[in-house]
Amino acid sequence: MASALHSIHHAHWYRQVQPITTAPGSLVQRSGCTVVNFASNDYLGLAGDPRLREAAIAALYTWGSGSTGSRLLSGHRPIHTELEQALADWKQTEAALVFSSGYLANLGTIAALVGPRDLIMADQYNHASLKNGARLSGATVITYRHRDSEDLHTQLQQQRQRHRRCLILTDSVFSMDGDLCPLPELLDLATEFDSMVLVDEAHGTGVLGATGAGGVEHLGCSGAPMIQVGTLSKALGSLGGYVAGSAVLIDYLRNRASSWIYTTGLSPADTAAALAALRIAQSEPERRARLWENVTHLQRCLQKYQSQGLDPRQILPSDSAILCLQFPNPVTVLQVSQRLLAEGIWAPAIRPPTVPTSRIRISVMTTHSPDQIEQLAFALATCP
């Protein structure tokens, strides 16, 4: 372990925790310094919203702190059903199931749907929880080139026949890039090759789509047969994960998903906070509108600086609230992140092995002011 840690240091891949000592928001205190926060997944600014706190506190008083057991034994409360119904309505699916985290939702669902006789087709840049779920399932895993439905088509032609079931796995918004999957093409290929599609909406839910239902809605695919996974911990400001889909799927998962059956039900406070957040995300579309104004503002500011020396090749394509700037190596990206911090801006460096190339990853929130966005763009453009 010590020698492994030494190698990690040597490669400049070493990571450690930094405490935040204030409530969530666009301005936070980190290691004693106040910084503008571009590192948070709290897209709609709900994690610190008083209505979520009040809902969590009320649930805590009514139901206590722990749910005391598996959902199938002593861990099920009416509020779980209420949240699941609300998620299904929002996602326009027949049913939904709440897990203890998005990570566990992916592990349990993938491993329940496919096994050693089956095939998984996975986008190269999928989230770690999709990759690990795929490995856990024991299925044959084939990786297709990022967002490349032609490559997927070729691979399906070569591989599909040799296997029983086939599951296509993709992020809707790629978490470390910010671009979107070609969902309509994936669904067509799924029909052609008798395959299932699982789409991970962790960074789409609350952010994309006319009602904020996510990338599926944004890409015009609501109602199509697929498995939608997501988290309650990002735009919904709480903790937990979910799966939304057909009633048969959800019934099957309640009987087959180990990461749902053999773990304690989501705590009443987290469940209530997520439900309050969902209602706010639906009833206050102005939050989403404001988020997109901020995203557009940042893109315009960065474009402006492109004529003044910012290399456009550095900016990765994005259609979401995640924007990344690439750097040649982990040392440079760490230096850039440190210089930004010195200017009061927290935009984290993401390095291998999390991503193939080092980058600064920016998450835009509803609660950022135009000033804060301009400050970020200026700092990025003038960073030596």
Ligand X SMILES: *Cc1c(COP(=O)(O)O)cnc(C)c1O
Which 33-52 positions form the footprint of ligand X (CB under 6 A)?
none
Q: Taking contact as CB under 6 A, which single stretch among the options 132-140, 180-188, 198-206, 319-327 is the one that binds ligand X?
A: 198-206
Stretch in the footprint of ligand X (CB under 6 A) among 100-108, 149-157, 338-346, 351-359? 100-108
170: which residues sit within 8 A by CB, 6+ positions away?
122, 123, 126, 130, 181, 183, 186, 197, 198, 199, 200
Binding residues for ligand X, rule CB under 6 A, total 14
Calculate the alpha carbon distances from 6 to 329, 335, 350, 357 in Å: 19, 20, 19, 21
Tell me which residues in 257-316 interact with ligand X (CB under 6 A): none
Give me the DSSP letters along 6-44: HHHHHTT-------B-S-SSSEEEETTEEEEE-S---TT
Radius of gyration of the chain from its Cα atoms, rounded to whole angstroms: 21
For the window 341-380, what string marks contact with ligand X as x by the rule CB under 6 A?
----------------------------------------
**Residues 323-342: x/- map of binding to ligand X (CB under 6 A)?**
--------------------
Residue pair 122/145 in contact (Cβ under 8 Å)? The answer is no
Per-residue b or e along 286-324, where b marks 16 or more CB atoms closer than 10 Å to that residue's CB: ebbebbeebbebbbebbeebeeeebeeebbbebebbbbb
d(CA 321, CA 178): 7
Told to check if 108 binds ligand X by CB under 6 A, we report: no
The only residue of 127, 288, 351, 359 in contact with ligand X, by rule CB under 6 A = 127
By beta-carbon proximity to ligand X, the closer residue of 169 and 249 is 169
State yes or no: residue 103 binds ligand X (CB under 6 A): yes
Q: Which of 241, 268, 330, 348 binds ligand X (CB under 6 A)?
A: 241
Q: Should residue 101 be labelled a site residue for ligand X when binding is judged by CB under 6 A? A: yes
Q: Which stretch binds ligand X (CB under 6 A): 54-62, 197-205, 278-286, 309-317?
A: 197-205
**Is residue 129 close enough to count as binding ligand X by CB under 6 A?**
yes
Of 37, 149, 175, 267, the one binding ligand X (CB under 6 A) is 175
* Cβ-proximal residue to ligand X, closest one: 102
Cβ atoms of residues 345 and 360 within 8 Å? no
Q: Tell me the C-alpha distance between 197 and 189, whole Å.
A: 9
Closest distance to ligand X from the beta carbon of 94 (Å): 23
CA pair distance 156, 190, nearest whole angstrom: 9
| Alpha-carbon distance values, 237 to 83, 221, 270, 283, 345 (Å) | 14, 25, 9, 16, 22
Residue 171 in the binding site for ligand X (CB under 6 A):
yes
Q: Which is nearer to ligand X, 187 or 239 (CB)?
A: 239
Q: Which residues pair with 324 in a beta bridge?
A: 361
Contact 120, 114 (CB under 8 A): yes
User: Interface with ligand X by CB under 6 A: which range of 54-62, 95-103, 210-218, 280-288?
Assistant: 95-103
**In the bound complex, what is the minimum distance in angstroms from residue 227's beta carbon to ligand X?**
13
| Lookup: tokens for 12 | 């400049």
- Give the whole-angstrom CA distance, residue 23 versus residue 48: 6
Q: Is 102 in the site for ligand X (CB under 6 A)?
A: yes
Cα torsion 216, 361, 304, 364 to 10°: value is 60
268 Cβ contact list (under 8 Å, min separation 6) = 59, 60, 62, 63, 64, 65, 67, 77, 79
Query: Which is closer to ligand X, CB of 38 or CB of 103?
Result: 103
Nearer to ligand X, 173 or 224 (CB): 173
> Reduced to 3 states, what is the DSSP secondary structure of residue 383?
coil
At 264 the three-state DSSP class reads strand
Residues 67-86 that bind ligand X (CB under 6 A): none
CB 206 to ligand X: min, Å = 13
Provide, rounded to whole angstroms, the least separation between the CB of residue 141 and ligand X. 17
Judged by CB under 6 A, does residue 91 bind ligand X? no
Choices 47-55, 96-104, 147-155, 297-305 (CB under 6 A): range interacting with ligand X: 96-104
Closest approach, Cβ 107 to ligand X, in A, equals 10
Question: Which residues sit at the interface with ligand X, rule CB under 6 A?
Answer: 101-103, 106, 127, 129, 171, 175, 200, 202-203, 231, 233, 241
